Amino acid sequence: MPRRVPVVLVAGRLGAGKSTLVNHLLRRADGVRIGVVVNDFGAIGIDAMLVAGQASAVTSLANGCLCCTTDANGLAGLLAELTAPSARLDLVVVEASGLAEPRELVRLLLDAIGGEARHAAYGGLVVVVDAGSGEHDGVVRLADLVVLNQVDRVDDPAPLLASLRAVAPGPVLPVVRGALDPALLVDPPARRRPPRSGQLSFDALLREEHPADEHAHAAWDSVAVERDAPLDPARFAAFLEAGPAGVFRSKGVVRFPGAAPFVVQTVGTAIRVRPAPRSVDVAGARLVFLGVGLDAAGLQAAVDACAADPAAGEPSLLPVLRYEESERVDAV
Ligand SMILES: Nc1nc2c(ncn2[C@@H]2O[C@H](COP(=O)(O)OP(=O)(O)OP(=O)(O)O)[C@@H](O)[C@H]2O)c(=O)[nH]1
């Protein structure tokens, strides 16, 4: 099965708390092997990093994570190295400060994924906002996830939260000291292992509802949706493209009339589809949505509304197949 490593971009104004958030991810890695790309090690303040060996361009940390420095020119090559199977990382986090503007950074990442970093996947643009500043800028309109940090510095974060939620296309998560749970960004390895039968079961997907970082998890939700009849490809693609409210990422298995099941994964409005392994079967859809303030009944109703019309024959798969990822990573 193709194995792609999500690359998450972390952006935000000076002092918003990007390095604090990255440090938190490293401290709470809990078996998730994270590769961090920064401009210089100083910015990340290697406190939690338990550095093994001498700092160089790539520093191995005692918890299996890696810390690397580069500039924008070296980013694609470094991402190719970090996401290669030999690096055995689960997640790569790029801290934007000084590397490039967020929009430019997203473009660099997508170019790298389409080019030399063939094992990388788009993991989302996370924009950190300092609640203490009382303001935000246009970058939040690009964010797949807004982390409203430093909420301890304000009496009432509600007005800023409301104004962010009005403009941000994805969820907004209020936190203190960058306390973002890595499980929101990537599946924890222990729970990602296939069950003994070797099948990707719905139970396996659901087990991810209970990540280790329970405190941080209190801030976000996972919602499972099931449907026992096939979906219409055009309706389902339109549902994913619209970006269901509050959802940061989703994954699951879906069947369309007359076709074998597909595995579907989304981050923001970035959609990836591939044929499901032969061992996986589903009558309709089994999906898990991860995000903030999710409406479980609303998500179930929205998936139900994607039902295929049995009288309409076999619909074209094109609306879904245009998101099919290449299989070239299978070769490794
Ligand atoms: N009170 C409070 N302080 C915080 C919080 N998060 C970060 N800080 C402090 O805010 C300052 C800036 O945090 P950083 O993580 O360095 O911010 P940054 O976005 O990486 O900054 P640059 O790299 O300079 O752009 C540091 O002194 C942090 O200790 C928080 O939630 N609450």
Q: How far is ligand 1, taken at its centre, from the CA of residue 181, in Å? A: 17
Residue 188, pLDDT score: 82
Torsion from C-alpha of 275, 277, 282, 287, nearest 10 degrees: -70
For 182-216, the pLDDT digits (tens) are: 999 999 876 444 444 444 444 444 444 434 444 55
Q: How far is ligand 1, taken at its centre, from the CA of residue 285, in Å? A: 42
Using a 6 Å cutoff on CB, does residue 176 contact ligand 1? yes
Residue 41 has pLDDT above 50, yes or no: yes
Using a 6 Å cutoff on CB, does residue 97 contact ligand 1? yes
Domain 5-185, CATH: 3.40.50.300
Using a 6 Å cutoff on CB, does residue 305 contact ligand 1? no
Residue 50 has pLDDT above 60, yes or no: no
- Whether the CB-CB separation of 157 and 131 falls below 8 Å is answered with yes
Using a 6 Å cutoff on CB, does residue 243 contact ligand 1? no
Using a 6 Å cutoff on CB, does residue 259 contact ligand 1? no
Q: Which residue in the block uniquely carries the two structure tokens 């490293």?
A: 26
Using a 6 Å cutoff on CB, does residue 14 contact ligand 1? yes
Pair of tokens at residue 304: 């139900």
- Whether the CB-CB separation of 128 and 95 falls below 8 Å is answered with no
Q: So where are the chain's domains?
A: 5-185, 195-331
Residue 222, pLDDT score: 94
Mutate which of 10, 18, 20, 139 for ligand 1 pocket (most atoms within 8 A of beta carbon): 20
- Give CA–CA dist 136/148, Å, rounded: 10
Question: 66-80, 135-149, 225-239: which range is least confident on average?
Answer: 66-80
Q: How far is ligand 1, taken at its centre, from the CA of residue 26, in Å? A: 16
ipTM of the complex: 0.98
163 three-state secondary structure: helix
Residue 256, pLDDT score: 97
Question: 174-183, 194-203, 315-324: which range is least confident on average?
Answer: 194-203
Q: Whose CA is nearest to atom 27 of ligand 1?
A: 15
Q: Whose CA is nearest to atom 3 of ligand 1?
A: 150
Q: Are strands 285-291 and 270-275 parallel, antiparallel or unpaired?
A: unpaired
Atom of ligand 1 nearest to the CA of 23: 15
- Give CA–CA dist 142/122, Å, rounded: 14
CATH topology of domain 195-331: Hypothetical Protein Yjia; Chain: A;domain 2 (3.30.1220)
Closest CA to 69 of 36, 26, 93: 36
- Give CA–CA dist 332/330, Å, rounded: 5
Q: How far is ligand 1, taken at its centre, from the CA of residue 93, in Å? A: 17
Strand order in the sheet with 34-38: 58-60, 66-69, 34-38, 91-95, 5-12, 120-130, 145-149, 172-174
Atom of ligand 1 nearest to the CA of 153: 1
For 233-271, the pLDDT digits (tens) are: 999 999 999 999 999 999 999 999 999 999 999 999 899
Using a 6 Å cutoff on CB, does residue 157 contact ligand 1? no
Q: How far is ligand 1, taken at its centre, from the CA of residue 219, in Å? A: 20
Q: What does the angle CA 147 – CA 123 – CA 114 come to, to the nearest 5 degrees?
A: 145
Atom of ligand 1 nearest to the CA of 22: 15
Residue 303 has pLDDT above 70, yes or no: yes
- Give CA–CA dist 55/250, Å, rounded: 37
User: Interhelix angle for 296-304 vs 233-242, to 10°?
Assistant: 150
Mutate which of 9, 10, 13, 19 for ligand 1 pocket (most atoms within 8 A of beta carbon): 19
- Whether the CB-CB separation of 190 and 159 falls below 8 Å is answered with no
Atom of ligand 1 nearest to the CA of 179: 31
- As a whole number, mean pLDDT of residues 53-76 equals 74
Report which listed range, 28-37, 48-57, 230-239, 304-313, is most confident: 230-239
Residue 209, pLDDT score: 40
